Amino acid sequence: MPADNSHSLTVSRVVRLTKAQTLGVWVQASAALSWSVGVQSGFSVVSVAVANGVSAERVSSLSVLATGWTAVGGFRSTGFVGSYVVGTGFTDAVGIYVVPADGVYHLAASVRLDNALGNMRALLSIHGLRTVTSSLGQYVARSQTCE
């Protein structure tokens, strides 16, 4: 059963990526000191041109006891309806996708936040960059105020 104070942030974008760039999901809290990323959270990457990609979901809740940025790892890309891994590049435990070839990719993440208060931001980050003042080519973000 979902927590009484749960919110969902979804981020998606089609971008041109180059081989060896890394992609990951991050969440930022501005006020909530005790919150979690729920198991209904997911991450997917699909190459538009070649058969390569992943669809993964969280294995368990990730409890966070701080503000600031938190990397979201602990995914599984097998064993649930809709999961897949085609090709190489994804590591479940750390939740990082390494782009195997230059090309156009569709990126998406849906992050379930429990006990989230204040401004929360979900981010699909390229090379771990987490500043929202950088160019849109470096990140894809979605913010929401949670009350």
pLDDT for 100 equals 93
| Per-residue pLDDT at 15 | 86
C-alpha distance across the termini of the chain, in Å: 19
pLDDT tens for the chain, 147 residues long, are 444 678 888 888 888 889 999 988 888 888 767 888 988 899 899 999 888 888 999 889 999 888 888 889 888 888 878 788 888 888 888 889 999 999 999 999 888 988 877 778 888 888 776 655 444 444 555 555 565
Can you give the pLDDT at residue 132? 54
SS3 letters for 38-54? CCCCEEEEEECCCCCEE
Report the pLDDT value the prediction gives residue 101, as an integer from 0 to 100. Answer: 93
**Whose CA is closest to 58, among 123, 2, 112, 1?**
112
Two tokens, residue 61: 């809740």
- Residue 57 tokens read as 């979901």
Cβ atoms 127, 21 nearer than 8 A: yes
> Can you tell me the distance from the alpha carbon of 132 to that of 146, in angstroms, rounded to the nearest whole number?
19
- What per-residue confidence (pLDDT) applies to 143? 56
Nearest-5° Cα angle at 9, 7 to 13:
170
Cα angle for residues 139, 141, 145 (degrees, 5° grid): 155
